[in-house]
Amino acid sequence: MTRAERLAEFHRSLERATAEPEFLDRFYKSFMAISPKIQRVFEGTDMARLKRKLKSSLHVMTLAVDDAPGADDYMRFLGKTHRRLNLDPAHFDLWKGSLLKTAAECDPEFDDRTQAIWAEVIGNGIELMRAGMASRSSRSASE
Ligand code: HEM
């Protein structure tokens, strides 16, 4: 399977999964159930707004794997905006685990191959966010 074919498959799976109206609620519920610490990070957050933004950022992750101009920068910048939340590095892996679990529940055609493609696209996005969090550039969102 070429990269273009994998991306097309990811996009189809994302569309199928998000066609389930509960997709984002299920994801956040599953993620926050992991620990009280994670739940506390979201206290005071406008979840309706966050769900809209998260859905868009999943599409940007697709663009980032597809070398679309600016997509990498957006993901790195998004990493910077997360600095002020003082997350543990492990939180990102847990985030990915909850997202893939929710995708498996909501995409009726999800299989091992789809799972590997989600892991590739989301893993790439998370690496960019981690790089953004770690970088010292003056375009910081948190300072
Ligand atoms: C690849 C992983 C992640 C992606 C793609 C992502 C995506 C996003 C996006 C798009 C926003 C909105 C940014 C804004 O406009 O201000 C956001 C905010 C937020 N994220 Fe994440 N996020 C990720 C990981 C995490 C993790 C691991 C946590 C917590 C453990 C987390 C907690 C939050 C919180 C609490 C906010 C909202 C802060 C506020 O109230 O403004 N995120 N995230």
Predicted confidence (pLDDT) per residue in 44-65, tens digit: 999 999 999 999 999 999 999 9
Q: Give the distance, in angstroms, between the CA of residue 96 and the centroid of all CA atoms in the same chain.
A: 7
- The architecture (CATH level 2) of 3-134 comes to Orthogonal Bundle (1.10)
Q: Is the pLDDT of residue 141 over 70?
A: no
Q: How close is the Cα of 62 to the center of ligand 1, in Å?
A: 17
- Distance in angstroms (rounded) separating the CA atoms of residues 50 and 45: 8
Ligand 1 centroid to 6 CA: how many Å?
26
Query: Can you read off the two tokens belonging to residue 80?
Result: 């910077």
Residue 112 CA to ligand 1 center (angstroms) comes to 27
Q: Delimit the domains of the chain by residue range.
A: 3-134
What is the residue with the minimal CA distance to atom 43 of ligand 1? 54
Residue bearing the CA closest to ligand 1, atom 34: 42
Residue 140 clears pLDDT 50, i.e. is over it: no
Q: pTM for the whole thing? A: 0.92
Question: How many angstroms from the chain centroid is the CA of residue 142?
Answer: 20
Cβ-based neighbours of 68, under 8 Å, separated by 6 or more: none
How far is residue 136 CA from its own chain's centroid? 23
For a mutational test of ligand 1's pocket, the pick from 60, 95, 98, 128, i.e. the residue with the most ligand atoms closer than 8 A to its C-beta, is 95
What is the arithmetic mean of pLDDT over 35-39? 97
How close is the Cα of 8 to the center of ligand 1, in Å?
25
Q: Note the pLDDT tens digit of each residue in 1-31.
A: 899 999 999 999 999 999 999 999 999 999 9
